[in-house]
Protein backbone atom coordinates (compact mmCIF):
# COMPACT_ATOMS: atom_id res chain seq x y z
CA UNK A 1 0.00 0.00 0.00
CA UNK A 2 1.12 3.56 -0.67
CA UNK A 3 2.60 5.35 2.31
CA UNK A 4 1.96 9.09 2.64
CA UNK A 5 5.21 11.01 2.14
CA UNK A 6 6.55 12.20 5.52
CA UNK A 7 6.39 15.93 6.20
CA UNK A 8 9.72 15.94 8.04
CA UNK A 9 13.17 15.10 6.80
CA UNK A 10 14.43 11.66 7.77
CA UNK A 11 18.09 11.87 8.75
CA UNK A 12 20.09 8.66 8.91
CA UNK A 13 22.95 8.74 11.40
CA UNK A 14 25.54 6.12 12.32
CA UNK A 15 29.11 5.05 11.67
CA UNK A 16 30.63 5.02 8.22
CA UNK A 17 29.94 1.74 6.44
CA UNK A 18 26.67 0.84 8.18
CA UNK A 19 24.76 1.42 4.95
CA UNK A 20 23.26 4.91 5.42
CA UNK A 21 23.49 5.71 1.70
CA UNK A 22 22.17 2.36 0.45
CA UNK A 23 19.35 2.22 2.99
CA UNK A 24 18.63 5.93 2.48
CA UNK A 25 18.27 5.61 -1.28
CA UNK A 26 15.83 2.71 -0.91
CA UNK A 27 13.91 4.39 1.88
CA UNK A 28 13.55 7.56 -0.19
CA UNK A 29 12.19 5.58 -3.14
CA UNK A 30 9.71 3.86 -0.85
CA UNK A 31 8.52 7.09 0.76
CA UNK A 32 8.53 9.21 -2.40
CA UNK A 33 11.04 11.71 -0.98
CA UNK A 34 14.24 12.93 -2.65
CA UNK A 35 17.44 11.29 -1.40
CA UNK A 36 20.49 13.39 -0.55
CA UNK A 37 23.86 11.98 0.47
CA UNK A 38 25.50 14.50 2.82
CA UNK A 39 29.04 13.67 1.71
CA UNK A 40 28.06 14.10 -1.96
CA UNK A 41 26.44 17.45 -1.15
CA UNK A 42 29.70 18.58 0.49
CA UNK A 43 31.67 17.36 -2.52
CA UNK A 44 29.49 19.33 -4.96
CA UNK A 45 29.61 22.46 -2.79
CA UNK A 46 33.40 22.26 -2.46
CA UNK A 47 34.01 20.84 -5.93
CA UNK A 48 36.46 18.47 -4.23
CA UNK A 49 36.23 14.92 -2.96
CA UNK A 50 35.96 14.27 0.79
CA UNK A 51 39.42 12.68 0.68
CA UNK A 52 40.91 15.77 -1.00
CA UNK A 53 39.22 18.12 1.47
CA UNK A 54 40.76 16.19 4.38
CA UNK A 55 44.17 15.95 2.67
CA UNK A 56 44.40 19.54 1.42
CA UNK A 57 42.33 21.56 3.90
CA UNK A 58 42.24 19.35 7.00
CA UNK A 59 39.47 17.90 9.12
CA UNK A 60 38.50 21.21 10.79
CA UNK A 61 37.70 22.79 7.40
CA UNK A 62 35.78 19.68 6.39
CA UNK A 63 33.70 19.86 9.58
CA UNK A 64 32.96 23.57 9.05
CA UNK A 65 31.80 22.90 5.48
CA UNK A 66 29.83 19.88 6.62
CA UNK A 67 27.99 21.99 9.22
CA UNK A 68 27.06 24.59 6.57
CA UNK A 69 25.77 21.94 4.18
CA UNK A 70 23.82 20.20 6.97
CA UNK A 71 22.14 23.49 7.90
CA UNK A 72 21.11 24.18 4.31
CA UNK A 73 19.72 20.67 3.87
CA UNK A 74 17.98 20.46 7.25
CA UNK A 75 16.34 23.85 6.83
CA UNK A 76 15.07 22.89 3.37
CA UNK A 77 12.09 20.78 2.26
CA UNK A 78 11.72 17.17 3.48
CA UNK A 79 14.26 14.67 2.13
CA UNK A 80 15.88 11.44 3.18
CA UNK A 81 19.35 12.54 4.27
CA UNK A 82 22.30 10.21 4.74
CA UNK A 83 24.58 12.17 7.08
CA UNK A 84 28.33 11.63 7.27
CA UNK A 85 29.24 9.56 10.32
CA UNK A 86 30.76 12.55 12.12
CA UNK A 87 28.12 15.18 11.29
CA UNK A 88 26.23 14.77 14.58
CA UNK A 89 29.35 15.59 16.58
CA UNK A 90 28.53 19.24 15.84
CA UNK A 91 26.08 20.51 18.50
CA UNK A 92 24.44 22.98 16.08
CA UNK A 93 23.84 20.23 13.55
CA UNK A 94 22.33 18.11 16.34
CA UNK A 95 20.00 20.94 17.32
CA UNK A 96 18.92 21.41 13.69
CA UNK A 97 18.26 17.69 13.38
CA UNK A 98 16.10 17.73 16.49
CA UNK A 99 14.20 20.73 15.19
CA UNK A 100 13.68 19.67 11.58
CA UNK A 101 14.15 15.91 11.22
CA UNK A 102 13.21 12.51 12.46
CA UNK A 103 16.58 10.89 13.06
CA UNK A 104 17.28 7.21 12.64
CA UNK A 105 20.42 5.57 14.01
CA UNK A 106 21.51 2.68 11.84
CA UNK A 107 23.59 0.34 13.97
CA UNK A 108 25.45 -2.76 12.85
CA UNK A 109 27.94 -5.20 14.27
CA UNK A 110 31.35 -3.50 14.14
CA UNK A 111 32.95 -6.57 12.55
CA UNK A 112 30.46 -6.35 9.67
CA UNK A 113 31.10 -2.63 9.31
CA UNK A 114 34.88 -3.16 9.32
CA UNK A 115 34.57 -5.68 6.49
CA UNK A 116 32.45 -3.30 4.45
CA UNK A 117 34.74 -0.30 4.76
CA UNK A 118 37.72 -2.42 3.75
CA UNK A 119 36.27 -2.75 0.27
CA UNK A 120 36.62 0.97 -0.42
CA UNK A 121 39.36 3.48 0.27
CA UNK A 122 37.32 6.68 0.48
CA UNK A 123 37.43 7.20 4.25
CA UNK A 124 40.34 9.40 5.30
CA UNK A 125 39.75 8.71 8.99
CA UNK A 126 40.48 5.01 8.48
CA UNK A 127 43.50 5.35 6.24
CA UNK A 128 46.48 3.28 7.40
CA UNK A 129 44.57 1.95 10.42
CA UNK A 130 43.10 -1.38 11.34
CA UNK A 131 39.43 -0.68 10.58
CA UNK A 132 38.01 -2.69 13.48
CA UNK A 133 40.28 -0.97 15.99
CA UNK A 134 39.55 2.48 14.54
CA UNK A 135 35.79 1.87 14.35
CA UNK A 136 35.70 0.54 17.90
CA UNK A 137 37.38 3.71 19.15
CA UNK A 138 34.93 5.84 17.13
CA UNK A 139 31.98 3.87 18.45
CA UNK A 140 33.05 4.58 22.02
CA UNK A 141 32.88 8.33 21.43
CA UNK A 142 29.97 8.43 19.02
CA UNK A 143 27.46 5.81 20.18
CA UNK A 144 26.31 7.98 23.10
CA UNK A 145 25.87 10.90 20.68
CA UNK A 146 23.96 8.80 18.14
CA UNK A 147 21.78 7.45 20.94
CA UNK A 148 21.08 10.95 22.21
CA UNK A 149 20.26 12.32 18.75
CA UNK A 150 18.20 9.50 17.28
CA UNK A 151 14.42 9.21 17.59
CA UNK A 152 14.59 5.63 16.31
CA UNK A 153 17.35 2.99 16.41
CA UNK A 154 17.45 0.23 13.82
CA UNK A 155 19.86 -2.70 13.87
CA UNK A 156 21.10 -3.66 10.42
CA UNK A 157 22.02 -7.28 9.78
CA UNK A 158 24.95 -8.51 7.71
CA UNK A 159 23.54 -7.58 4.31
CA UNK A 160 19.86 -7.11 4.92
CA UNK A 161 19.31 -3.53 3.81
CA UNK A 162 15.73 -4.28 2.74
CA UNK A 163 14.89 -5.32 6.30
CA UNK A 164 16.37 -2.09 7.63
CA UNK A 165 14.14 -0.12 5.24
CA UNK A 166 11.08 -2.07 6.43
CA UNK A 167 12.04 -1.49 10.07
CA UNK A 168 12.39 2.26 9.52
CA UNK A 169 9.07 2.53 7.69
CA UNK A 170 7.39 0.59 10.50
CA UNK A 171 8.93 2.87 13.13
CA UNK A 172 8.01 6.20 11.49
C1 LIG B 1 33.24 10.56 8.44
C2 LIG B 1 32.37 9.83 7.69
C3 LIG B 1 32.29 9.93 6.22
C4 LIG B 1 32.77 11.30 5.75
C5 LIG B 1 34.12 11.60 6.31
C6 LIG B 1 34.14 11.58 7.84
C7 LIG B 1 33.24 10.36 9.90
O8 LIG B 1 30.94 9.74 5.83
O9 LIG B 1 31.86 12.30 6.11
O10 LIG B 1 35.01 10.65 5.80
O11 LIG B 1 33.78 11.20 10.64
O12 LIG B 1 32.68 9.34 10.36
P13 LIG B 1 30.20 8.28 5.82
O14 LIG B 1 29.66 8.04 7.19
O15 LIG B 1 29.11 8.49 4.82
O16 LIG B 1 31.22 7.30 5.38
Nearest CA to ligand 1 atom 3: 84
Q: Is residue 46 included in any domain, yes or no?
A: yes
Q: Is residue 69 included in any domain, yes or no?
A: yes
Q: Which CATH number fits the domain that encloses residue 62?
A: 3.40.50.300
Cβ of 18 less than 6 Å from ligand 1: no
Cβ of 86 less than 6 Å from ligand 1: yes
Per-residue pLDDT tens over the stretch 36-91: 999 999 999 999 999 999 999 999 999 999 999 999 999 999 999 999 999 999 99
Q: Is residue 74 included in any domain, yes or no?
A: yes
Cβ of 24 less than 6 Å from ligand 1: no
**What's the number of domains the chain is made of?**
1
Those residues whose C-beta lies under 8 Å from the C-beta of residue 120, and which sit 6 or more positions away, are none
Per-residue pLDDT tens over the stretch 82-118: 999 999 999 999 999 999 999 999 999 999 889 888 7
Cβ of 50 less than 6 Å from ligand 1: yes
Distance in angstroms (rounded) separating the CA atoms of residues 118 and 126: 9
Cβ of 78 less than 6 Å from ligand 1: no
Q: Domain range for residue 40? A: 9-171
> Which ligand 1 atom is at minimum distance from the Cα of 66?
9
Q: Is residue 40 included in any domain, yes or no?
A: yes
Q: Is residue 32 included in any domain, yes or no?
A: yes
Distance in angstroms (rounded) separating the CA atoms of residues 15 and 109: 11
More confidently predicted of 80 and 163: 80
What ipTM did this prediction achieve? 0.96
Q: Is residue 1 included in any domain, yes or no?
A: no
Mutate to test the pocket of ligand 1, among 17, 116, 125, 138 (most ligand atoms within 8 A of CB): 125
Q: Is residue 4 included in any domain, yes or no?
A: no
CB atoms within 10 A of CB 93: 25
Closest CA to 105 of 60, 58, 64, 164: 164
Cβ of 123 less than 6 Å from ligand 1: yes
Q: How many whole angstroms from its chain centre is CA 125? A: 15
More confidently predicted of 129 and 10: 10
Cβ of 65 less than 6 Å from ligand 1: no
> Which ligand 1 atom is at minimum distance from the Cα of 51?
10
Across all residues in the chain, what is the average pLDDT? 92
Q: Is residue 3 included in any domain, yes or no?
A: no
Q: What is the pLDDT, as a whole number, of residue 158?
A: 67
Amino acid sequence: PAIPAPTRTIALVGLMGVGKSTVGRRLAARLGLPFVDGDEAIESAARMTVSDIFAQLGEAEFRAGEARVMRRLLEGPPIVLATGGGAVLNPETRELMKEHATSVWLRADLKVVAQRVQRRDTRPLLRGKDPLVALTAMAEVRYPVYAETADVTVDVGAGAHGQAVDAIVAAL
